[in-house]
Structures are given as C-alpha cells and as structure tokens.
C-alpha cells in the first residue's frame, strides 16, 4: 500500500469524524520507517512519551499515529495504526488515556493477537491518582500496599481485545489491511460509535 495515498485518503475523509483541523503529518522518515502522527494542540502522555493530542469533543482528545515499516525492499510495508482516546482539560499535561484501538498488519501468518483490537487503559488514571496523593499518607507504606493490591487485579491493558473477530463464521480474528478506503471506513465507524457511547455516559 502506498503510504502517501493512505494518509491523503485519511486526511481528506476523516475531518468530519474527528475535527475540522484534523491532519496527519510526517513525523519521521528513514530507510525503513515512515511515521505519521496527528497534528495536536495539547500535551498528553502516550505509552510514556509526551505527544500532542487534538481535541475531539468536550474534554476528549485523540492521538493517531500510523507507521509503515519496510522489512526488505521486495516486501510490502508492514502497517501499524494506533488511535488513543484521552480525557482531560486543555491545560492538563496528564490527560488520562482511556483506551487505544490498534490495527497492525505485519504480514505474519502466525500472528496471535487479534487485528484490529482494543487496549483498555483507563486503570492507569486511577493508579496515577493514587500515586500522586501518596504523600498525604506514609508514602512508602502506602505505595507498598497499593502495589500489593494492584497485583491482585489482572492488568487488562496488556490484553488485545478483539474488535472484529469472525469466529461465528468459522474464521479467525486476524484481518489484513487491503486498501485505503477500508482503513478510512474503520476509523470513521469506530469514532462515530465511540462518540455516541461517550456522549451517552453524560446524558
């Protein structure tokens, strides 16, 4: 798949689902990686890295990145798409990541993770709040107890929750990326659905 054609198609068709100023720009380009990210306006932390996020609606923010990775010259690029939804105010550096949707196509017939899939990351918000307020208590004892309690709960953010498994038709949970329009429709449908669900929480 041609990277420019996919990015142009997303930029042209996803403004309505995301934001009138939505745009993906080239972030990094070297001999085996072409990396595009959203043009954001406010700070957030994505997987330990400071990124710029774009306001979507109310206090919800988006970070979108797409990577094209070439293994060899003869092979088609592998594609990695990652969309994160954050919650917070414009001035908050520590907006909380609620969940992340990913679709990776690594041309791997032995892929074990569902594609596309969800990562549920909202537990990080609760963990962060506890850690920030630990100084109110005896810090070392509090954090020790907190870590003990964390160990009792499954860390779901590491699970790849299938988004589009086809088990009911006797197939598996891996979908390859076939063309630009398929990616655009996936992004549009997912964002429209998510917005409806998030708005329902406040009504």
User: What's this model's pTM, rounded to 2 decimal places?
Assistant: 0.86
The pLDDT of residue 125? 57
Pair 68, 3: CB distance under 8 Å = yes
Domain limits, the chain: 3-121+156-201
The pLDDT of residue 158? 82
The pLDDT of residue 154? 65
Provide φ and ψ at 130, rounded to 5°: -60, -45
Please give the full DSSP string across 23-60, using - where no structure is assigned.
-EEEEEEETTEEEEEE--SEEEEETTEEEEEEEEETTE
Which residues of the chain fall short of a pLDDT of 70?
A: 71-76, 124-143, 145-146, 149-154
The pLDDT of residue 124? 64
The pLDDT of residue 70? 83
Q: Which residues does residue 1 pair with via DSSP β-bridges, in sequence order? A: none
The pLDDT of residue 36? 97
Find, among 181, 197, 131, the residue nearest to 13 by Cα: 181
Pair 17, 191: CB distance under 8 Å = yes
């Amino acid at each position: 798949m041609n990277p420019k054609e996919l990015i142009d198609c997303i930029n042209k068709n996803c403004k309505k689902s995301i934001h009138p100023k939505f745009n993906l720009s080239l972030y990094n380009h070297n001999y085996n990686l072409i990396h595009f990210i959203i043009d954001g306006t406010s700070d957030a932390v994505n997987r330990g890295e400071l990124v710029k996020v774009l306001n979507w609606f109310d206090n919800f923010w988006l970070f979108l990145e797409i990577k094209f990775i070439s293994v060899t010259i003869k092979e088609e690029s592998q594609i990695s798409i990652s969309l994160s939804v954050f919650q917070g105010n414009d001035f908050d550096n520590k907006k909380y990541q609620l969940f992340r949707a990913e679709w990776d196509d690594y041309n791997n017939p032995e892929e074990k993770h569902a594609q596309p899939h969800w990562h549920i990351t909202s537990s990080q918000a609760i963990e962060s709040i506890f850690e920030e307020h630990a100084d109110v208590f005896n810090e070392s004892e509090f954090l020790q107890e907190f870590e003990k309690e964390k160990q009792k709960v499954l860390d779901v953010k590491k699970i790849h929750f299938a988004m589009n498994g086809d088990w009911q038709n006797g197939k598996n949970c891996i979908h390859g990326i076939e063309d630009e329009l398929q990616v655009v429709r996936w992004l549009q449908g997912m964002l429209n659905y998510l917005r409806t669900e998030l708005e329902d929480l406040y009504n």
